[in-house]
Amino acid sequence: MSVSTAAVDQAICTPLPVLGRDVTVPLVTGGEVGYAALDYAASAPALQRVWDDVAAYAPYYGSVHRGAGYLSQLSTDLFEKARETVAEFLDCRADDQLIFTRSTTDSLNLLAQALPADCQVFVFETEHHASLLPWKDARVSYLDAPRTPHQAVETLERALAARDPYGPALVCVTGASNVTGELWPVRELAAAAHAHGARIVLDAAQLAPHHPVSVRDLDVDWVAFSGHKLYAPFGSGVLAGRADWLQAADPYLAGGGASRKVSRREDGGVDVEWHDSAARHEAGSPNVIGAYSIASACKALTEAGFDTLVARERHLVDLVRAGLAEVPEVRVLSLFGDDAPRVGVLSFVVDGWNSSHFAAALSAEYGIGVRDGLFCAHPLVRTLLGTAPESQGECGAPEASPGEKSLNVIRVSFGAGTPDEHIERFVAAVRELVTNGARWTYHTENGRCVPAVN
173 beta partners: 202
Secondary element (H or E) of residue 445: strand 442-445
Distance of CA 25 to the CA centre of its chain: 26
The 3-class SS string of 196-250 reads CCCEEEEECCCCCCCCCCCHHHHCCCEEEEEHHHCCCCCCCEEEEECCHHHHHCC
Pair 128, 205: CB distance under 8 Å: yes
Instruction: Give the C-alpha separation, 432 to 322, whole Å.
Output: 16
Cα–Cα separations (whole angstroms), residue 352 to 330, 363, 393, 397? 10, 19, 20, 19
CB atoms within 10 A of CB 177: 29
Q: How many residues does the chain have?
A: 454
Q: Which of 119, 172, 298, 376 is catalytic?
A: 376
Closest CA relative to residue 65, chosen from 91, 31, 100, 30: 100
| Three-state DSSP state, 99 | strand
CB atoms within 10 A of CB 437: 11
Angle of CA points 426, 427, 429, to nearest 5°: 65
| Three-state DSSP state, 36 | strand
Angle of CA points 185, 47, 176, to nearest 5°: 15
Q: Is 376 a catalytic residue?
A: yes
Closest CA relative to residue 109, chosen from 243, 233, 252: 252
Cβ-based neighbours of 123, under 8 Å, separated by 6 or more? 131, 132, 135, 140, 141, 142, 143, 171, 172, 173
Backbone phi, then psi, for 244, in 5-degree steps?
A: -60, -50
Pair 185, 317: CB distance under 8 Å: no
Pair 397, 447: CB distance under 8 Å: yes
Quickly list H helices, 265-354.
Answer: 288-304, 306-325
Catalytic residue ranges: 376
